Amino acid sequence: MDPKDPVRLRLEIHGRVQGVWFRASARDEALGIGVSGWVRNLANGHVEVTVEGDRSAVERLVAWCRKGPRGASVSKIEMKEETYAGEFDTFEIRY
């Protein structure tokens, strides 16, 4: 796998991830890395992320999500690779 190959991942992040600025911090991190997609809170207390970009850049965001912002405590990440679509222009918070 080439690190420049485009990839799309869907993440469900478990733990203390709501009420700790996870979404805003994930957006800032994603924009800094140069990946696109979105982040949102789920009713079950988890955070969902869909991210697209070069494999190496997406992996950098996943690594950040394993820790999250200060105050977060990530216990698990469920990850699923999806078909790359190139449909996002930026990285946004969804509600």
Residue 86 DSSP one-character state: -
Closest by CA to 66, choosing from 28, 32, 21, 17, is 17
- Output the pTM of the full model: 0.95
CB 81 within 8 A of CB 1: no
pLDDT in tens, 26-72: 999 999 999 999 999 999 999 999 999 999 999 999 999 999 999 99
pLDDT grade for 2, boundaries at 50, 70 and 90: confident
Q: Is the pLDDT of residue 93 over 90?
A: yes
Domain ranges of the chain: 6-93
Note if 60 is an active site residue: no
Buried b (16+ CB within 10 A) or exposed e, 55-68: bebbbbbbebbeeb
Asked about 44 being catalytic, the answer comes back as: no
In CATH, which of 3.40.30.10, 3.20.20.150, 3.30.70.100, 3.40.50.11540 is domain 6-93? 3.30.70.100
- Active-site residue (options: 10, 16, 41, 55): 41
Question: What is the percent of the chain where pLDDT is above 70?
Answer: 99
Of 23, 27, 60, 94, the active-site residue reads 23
Mean pLDDT of 9-21: 98
